[in-house]
Amino acid sequence: MEKIYLKSRIVYCFLAVVLVAFTACNQQVRSAKKAKFSIVQNIPPNIEQWEKSIDAFEKQDKENKPSPGSIVFVGSSSIVKWESLQEDFPDKVTLNRGFGGSQTDEVHYYAFRTLFPYRPKQVVIYVGDNDIAAGKSPEKVFTDLKDFFEDIRYQLPKTKITFIAIKPSPSRWEFMEQYTETNNMVKEYLKNFKNSSYVDIVKPMLMENGRPNPEYFLSDSLHMTAAGYDVWTKAVAPHLE
């Protein structure tokens, strides 16, 4: 009897853990059912690590609800650290919804809470950097990006989509070939994707010898200085609605 009781307790504990995990993701799962792509069945691993960041965005929205028709910037830490967005584009209404360290499928997954509800007139995307560094192939990153682009078009038919090319960071120079391959695939794809644009920030961030200009990067050789964001501002500005 004791063995049967012990087995029952083990099964009960296991089911309890599963139920807690399911409940934690339930809000995202319910909203993501409306996705064009089955991201619910392919939930990125460790997705819950970003919950604190997403909750903070939602708290901000309750305190100061953004107006529809803004330009939303989404992506990884290069977006997060673009703290001068409103100053750089003073005649635009911008909203920063980047969360650091994120990859393409994660940004797509949380778009149901950090992008689609705002009904923006334009979304500016910077992702792919961390994907390649984590070992994903250019083909995988491109596939994830296509799914994201098409889901944005499905959810927001009139929203312009702008992709910022993966930057040439000194600390990740070993991946530059993969970054270039990914950038080229995205660039060609967007040529035939209505109401979209591709922003080349790679060329202006390189010196004459073809290497990244160190003036554009912080001491970690990954994140950017104000001078680096100045380059991005000049490159992105002509693409904004």
What CATH number has the domain bearing residue 106?
A: 3.40.50.1110
Q: 40 in a domain, yes or no?
A: no
Better-scored residue on pLDDT, 13 or 49: 49
* Mean pLDDT, the chain, whole residue set: 87
Pair 120, 224 in one domain? yes
Pair 140, 75 in one domain? yes
Tens-digit pLDDT profile for residues 182-221: 999 999 999 999 999 999 999 999 999 999 999 999 999 9
Pair 89, 195 in one domain? yes
Q: Which residues contact 229 (CB under 8 A, 6 or more apart)?
A: 82, 84, 88
Q: 195 in a domain, yes or no?
A: yes
Pair 231, 155 in one domain? yes
Structural domains in the chain (count): 2
Better-scored residue on pLDDT, 184 or 25: 184
pLDDT of amino acid 36: 58
Pair 10, 85 in one domain? no
Tens-digit pLDDT profile for residues 78-106: 999 999 999 999 999 999 999 999 999 99
Running DSSP on this structure, what letter comes out for residue 65? P
Hunting for tokens 């990006």 — which residue is that? Answer: 145
Supply the range of the domain harboring residue 142: 46-239
Running DSSP on this structure, what letter comes out for residue 67? P
Q: 22 in a domain, yes or no?
A: yes
Q: Residue 233: what are its φ and ψ, rounded to 5°?
A: -60, -45
Pair 140, 177 in one domain? yes
Pair 109, 224 in one domain? yes
Pair 9, 79 in one domain? no
Q: 41 in a domain, yes or no?
A: no
State the Cα–Cα distance between residues 41 and 29, nearest whole angstrom: 9
* Residue 1: band (very low, low, confident or very high) from pLDDT cuts 50, 70, 90: very low
Q: 121 in a domain, yes or no?
A: yes
Q: Considering the entire predicted model, what is its pTM?
A: 0.84
Q: 38 in a domain, yes or no?
A: no
Pair 69, 24 in one domain? no
Q: Does residue 18 surpass a pLDDT of 90?
A: no
State the Cα–Cα distance between residues 235 and 230, nearest whole angstrom: 9
DSSP sequence for 12-59: HHHHHHHHHHHHHHHHHHHHHTT-SS-TTTTPPTTGGGGHHHHHHHHH
Q: 81 in a domain, yes or no?
A: yes
Pair 151, 194 in one domain? yes
Pair 196, 226 in one domain? yes
Pair 107, 64 in one domain? yes
Per-residue buried b or exposed e for 154-191, using 16+ beta carbons within 10 Å of the residue's own CB? ebbeebbbbbbbbbbbeebeebbebbebbbebbeebbe
Tens-digit pLDDT profile for residues 155-183: 999 999 999 999 999 999 999 999 999 99
